[in-house]
């Protein structure tokens, strides 16, 4: 009870001291195990899930808490520019983890440029890996897409599925989210899709510790939003949109290969889109292109305008080899309008 009173007070102070409406967002993540069936093979993952109900708090054991189910990618977080995010990681006796020295987990707010103590890196934060609260207040002007992921033994924990997106959105004077990529009216959209890119080498999922398995990455499965979309008839992600509308795509590179994003129609013709933001920073000049590379760790926010006649388009990611860009696989999304 004491805790919620102090949180309320902080919110009031936050509102009073800022000309723009700002919210304080408190969220708790737990980590759980899951299996995915990828091309018919079962692969084990670790994923974050929202356990804000708490193990000991209001909801008790039955109110979410440890009973939630983990996903890969984890929950997509949305916050406003100027908001304060207090993201708590709960590591408990049920949490799947490696043995020492790679025990525990963190949350690294990738691209957030937070203080060292909030950065989620065990090697610089005094090895705080058994739970912590990570605080971030993104500035106005830093709207866009970011990632979060575990930074313990990253070569394994990222691969295990401990990642997702944080979307920083602009708010209007009343504090409501604007359907724009940032404060620029040119970035207004009608629909928004988050595309988290990732790749899977199953050998990394069964190895642990300092193993030579981690010296050689051989991805077998290629995902968008945690799903294989190997054909246009079985896309990883679908969107039912409407003619003449604008769709925002938020690309989050949590993969370990090169990749290229494109949008094609059913006949394979490339469609132009405009990139406005990279890594949470508005480009000095927006770029209208038909192909855009996303490398491991990169993010981009872009818009595409749908035409005035009904059709189906296929946003897609080609995953490519690090040495020569030879393609591994194409993963498809789908927009109908």
Residue 77 beta carbon to other proteins: minimum distance, rounded to whole angstroms: 18
**253 near other proteins (CB under 8 A):** yes
Which pairing describes strands 191-200 and 246-253: parallel, antiparallel, or unpaired? parallel
Residue 127 beta carbon to other proteins: minimum distance, rounded to whole angstroms: 12
Q: How far is CA 146 from CA 136, 178, 283, 302, in A?
A: 12, 18, 15, 14
Site string for other proteins, 152-171 (x = CB under 8 A): -xxxx-xx------------
**65 near other proteins (CB under 8 A):** no
Sheet with 144-149: strands ordered across: 77-80, 163-169, 144-149, 108-110
Residue 120 beta carbon to other proteins: minimum distance, rounded to whole angstroms: 10
φ/ψ (deg, to 5) at 262: -145, 160
**216 near other proteins (CB under 8 A):** yes
Choose, by CB under 8 A, the member of 13, 283, 307, 336 that binds other proteins: 283
Choose, by CB under 8 A, the member of 4, 61, 210, 244 that binds other proteins: 210
Burial 268-300 (b: 16+ CB within 10 A, else e): eeebebbbbbbbbebeeebeeeeebebebbbbb
- Among residues 225, 257, 221, which one has the least CA distance to residue 238? 225
The backbone region for 322, taken as left when phi is positive above 0, alpha when psi lies in -120 to 50, beta otherwise, is: alpha
**206 near other proteins (CB under 8 A):** no
Nearer to other proteins, 44 or 232 (CB): 44
Choose, by CB under 8 A, the member of 217, 230, 286, 305 that binds other proteins: 217
Nearer to other proteins, 123 or 233 (CB): 123
Q: How far is CA 295 from CA 3, 199, 213, in A?
A: 41, 12, 22
**Token representation of residue 101:** 């020295």
Choose, by CB under 8 A, the member of 57, 59, 96, 296 that binds other proteins: 296
Choose, by CB under 8 A, the member of 24, 71, 182, 298 that binds other proteins: 298
- The residue ranges that bind other proteins (CB under 8 A) are 102, 110-111, 113, 115-116, 119, 121, 123-124, 153-156, 158-159, 201, 204, 210-217, 253, 256-258, 278-281, 283-284, 293, 295-299, 322-323, 325
């Amino acid at each position: 009870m004491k805790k919620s009173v102090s949180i309320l007070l902080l919110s009031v102070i936050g509102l009073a001291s800022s000309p723009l409406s700002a919210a304080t967002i408190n969220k708790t993540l737990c980590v759980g195990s899951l299996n995915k069936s990828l091309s018919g093979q079962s692969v084990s993952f670790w994923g974050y899930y929202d356990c804000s109900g708490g193990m000991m708090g209001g909801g008790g054991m039955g109110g979410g808490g440890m009973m939630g189910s983990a996903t890969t990618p984890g929950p997509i977080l949305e916050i406003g520019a100027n908001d304060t995010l207090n993201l708590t990681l709960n590591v408990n006796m049920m949490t799947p983890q490696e043995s020492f020295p790679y025990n525990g987990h963190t949350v690294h707010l990738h691209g957030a440029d937070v203080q060292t103590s909030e950065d989620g890196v065990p090697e610089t934060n005094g090895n705080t890996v058994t739970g912590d609260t990570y605080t971030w207040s993104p500035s106005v002007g830093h709207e866009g897409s970011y990632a979060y992921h575990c930074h313990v033994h990253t070569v394994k924990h990222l691969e295990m599925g401990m990642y997702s997106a944080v979307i920083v959105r602009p708010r209007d004077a009343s504090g409501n989210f604007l359907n724009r990529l940032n404060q620029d009216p040119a970035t207004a959209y009608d629909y928004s899709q988050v595309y988290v890119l990732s790749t899977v080498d199953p050998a990394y999922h069964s190895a642990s510790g300092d193993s030579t398995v981690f010296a050689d990455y051989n991805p077998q499965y290629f995902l968008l939003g945690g799903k294989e979309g190997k054909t246009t008839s079985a896309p990883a992600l679908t969107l039912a949109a409407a003619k003449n509308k604008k769709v925002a795509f938020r690309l989050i590179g949590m993969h370990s290969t090169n990749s290229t994003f494109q949008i094609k129609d059913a006949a394979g013709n490339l469609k132009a889109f405009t990139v406005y933001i990279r890594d949470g920073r508005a480009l000095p000049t927006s770029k209208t292109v038909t192909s855009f590379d996303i490398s491991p760790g990169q993010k981009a926010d872009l818009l595409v305008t749908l035409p005035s006649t009904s059709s189906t388009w296929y946003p897609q990611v080609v995953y490519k080899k690090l040495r020569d860009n030879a393609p591994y696989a194409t993963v498809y999304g789908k927009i109908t309008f």
